Chains A and B, each alone.
Chain A
Amino acid sequence: MNVALFYALTGAGIFTLGLHGVIIYRHLLRKIMAINIMGSGVFLVLAGLARRVPAGPPDPVPHAMVITGIVVAVAATALALVLLLRLLDVSGSVVLPDNEEE
């Protein structure tokens, strides 16, 4: 097992942990953090596999993708946190209500 594969598998593992967290946890802040962890997993996969030739220098294009992804994740997290605060203000709960049709 070479280094790249190790990073990729770790990234996949982190992704799965995050996915588990998003589904399992009910507290919205934990869900948001789990989404961020998933994002970190994806970025690790992208950066870990970033080599055009197996023994050559790293490929900068996936690194650019990771930077873009981080920026997008920051914006998305900001939106999520603002929504969470608004939801807390209006409904007093940090847990999504179960779907009920009236």
Chain B
Amino acid sequence: MTLILLPLAGAMLAFLFPRAGGRLGLLTAFSVLFSAIALAAVVIGDGVQLHLLGGWPAPLGITLRTDGLSMVMLLVAAVVGLGISLYAAVWFRQEPLNGERFWPLWLLLWSALNALFLSADLFNLYVTLELLGLSAVGLAAVAGGAAAYAAAMRYLLVSLLGSLLYLLGVALIYHACGSVDITLVAERLSPSAASRAALALMVSGLLLKTALFPLHFWLPAAHANAGAPVSAALSGLVVKATFYLLLRLWLELFDTFAPQLETLLGLLGAAAVLWGSLQALRQSRLKLLIAYSTVAQIGYLFMAFPLAAAAGLQAWYGALYLVMSHALAKSAMFLAAGNLRRHAGHDRIAELDLVAQRLPLSVSAFALAGMTIMGLPPSGGFIAKWWLLQAALVQGMWGWALVLVVGGLLSAAYLFKVVGFAFTRARGTHEACPVPLSMEWIALLLAIGSVLLGLLVLPPMALLGVGDPFGLALEAGQ
């Protein structure tokens, strides 16, 4: 509960006292991280934690539930959130007006994320989804300018469309089951026309919000035109939250309803990997390249659905590990790109003038984060993709394995393109703006975090298993 109230309180204080926004934001960030670590200790020790809001039990009350899956997502959000807050505190010194707008919105986004990870009630999840969407749109628009406003407008329309589809699904489920509490619905739900329609609606809504191909059209513009800390938050955390929700609904409610849907999701995921990577190769602007890379990595997450049908746990663990590593790596990448842009005044890849010499920490951060995106050992991304690949090979699903490998090669191609240009001299010269060292270090530390995830695998896996979020599905399926 504190995890939701802390950033909410911070957001309101930052709104009332705009000039203290940075300090309030940092204070909230550290408090949220400590609360998350404390909660993780409790979860590891005592297992699944339940909290009934207001003391009202289900089905009337709203339950907050923390199991291993939620805890992992909360920790990822806390760590990445701290990094983004530290970075933003320095970034917005140059743009104090935008900074005053950033902090309340960012803290609201964080509280929405925490609430989403903790909720075990379908309608409460709708409210958190809306809060998440509205604050994300607000953040995307903070940067100002026609491109950012247009991208934010498109993002808002897509977000509202997704939420309404989800809500219609919730309406149908309530009618079928008489409750919106996830545990009760899981007991009462059976395949029928209404529940299949609800499944289709909710999955479509969440796919729109998670930007799976071909519903990804809004993502590149929105993520690329936002300020650096905002892009990191959007790509690193927001799309992961909607994927988490889809996964949770799938595992708890819909696991055995529609096997064809698994294949469809896998095919769309494969298309996303190939399309996103190819589009990323074509880009001439760094932030657009990174945004298309997000589109591709989201595709990997959805390829776990068909793989998990038979190989089960390994595929899900791969997907979750990718969520964790990608959150760290992609935010590091966007923060590093922010440094490069602040330094040069632009983000055209071909004109990264010897930036490897001028901003070595940022380029190293970008390259280390790239290891996760490529799936190069010993990063977290390698572990994730290795597990997915193993799941595919064990079942003899050569098609999926081929897409996984080709995706890795294409990511290597576009990443090496950027790193290559970092060593070349640009044709024209321009004034360089100094970049504070702290901003570079934050990007580098986040990137190192994603590599560390590849070396320290057992602790996150142990936490993930608490409460058996995936085993539940296996038992229910049998």
- Tell whether A pairs with B: yes
Closest A residue, CB atoms, query B164? A38
One of B38-46, B91-99, B282-290 contacting the partner: B282-290
CA distance A45 to B157 in the complex (A): 21
| B156 contact set on A, CB distance < 8 A | 76, 79-80, 83
A101 and B168 contacting across the interface, CB-CB below 8 Å: no
Looking at chain B, what size class is its interface with the partner chain? 35 or more
A47-102 contacts to B (CB < 8 Å):
49, 52, 61-62, 65, 68-69, 72, 75-76, 79-80, 83-84, 86-87, 90-91, 96-97, 99, 101-102
Distance between B367 CB and nearest chain A CB, rounded to angstroms:
24
7 contacts between A and B (CB under 8 A): A46-B174, A49-B171, A69-B126, A79-B156, A86-B141, A91-B150, A101-B283
B149 within 8 A of A: yes
B421 within 8 A of A: no
Which of A28, A65, A68 lies in contact with B153, CB distance below 8 A? A28
Given the contacts A35-B160, A91-B150, A96-B150, A45 and B171 also touching, CB distance less than 8 Å: yes
A42 and B164 contacting across the interface, CB-CB below 8 Å: yes
B214 within 8 A of A: no
| B217 contact set on A, CB distance < 8 A | 99
A83 and B174 contacting across the interface, CB-CB below 8 Å: no
Given the contacts A76-B156, A79-B138, A97 and B150 also touching, CB distance less than 8 Å: yes
Q: Which B residues lie at the A interface, using CB under 8 A?
A: 60, 123, 126-127, 130, 134, 137-138, 141, 144-146, 149-150, 152-154, 156-157, 160-161, 163-164, 167-168, 170-172, 174-175, 178, 217, 220-221, 282-285, 288
Q: Which of B156, B161, B167 has its CB near the most chain A CB atoms (within 10 A)?
A: B167
Distance between B131 CB and nearest chain A CB, rounded to angstroms:
9
CA distance A72 to B60 in the complex (A): 21
| B164 contact set on A, CB distance < 8 A | 15, 35, 38-39, 42
| B170 contact set on A, CB distance < 8 A | 65
Distance between A12 CB and nearest chain B CB, rounded to angstroms:
8
CA distance A27 to B163 in the complex (A): 21
Which of B130, B137, B149, B157 lies in contact with A87, CB distance below 8 A? B149
Which of B150, B154, B168, B282 lies in contact with A42, CB distance below 8 A? B168
B171 and A46 contacting across the interface, CB-CB below 8 Å: yes
B171 and A87 contacting across the interface, CB-CB below 8 Å: no
Given the contacts A35-B157, A83-B141, A86-B149, A72 and B221 also touching, CB distance less than 8 Å: no
A69 and B167 contacting across the interface, CB-CB below 8 Å: yes
Give 4 nearest A-B pairs by CB, closest first.
Answer: A91-B146, A49-B175, A87-B149, A46-B171
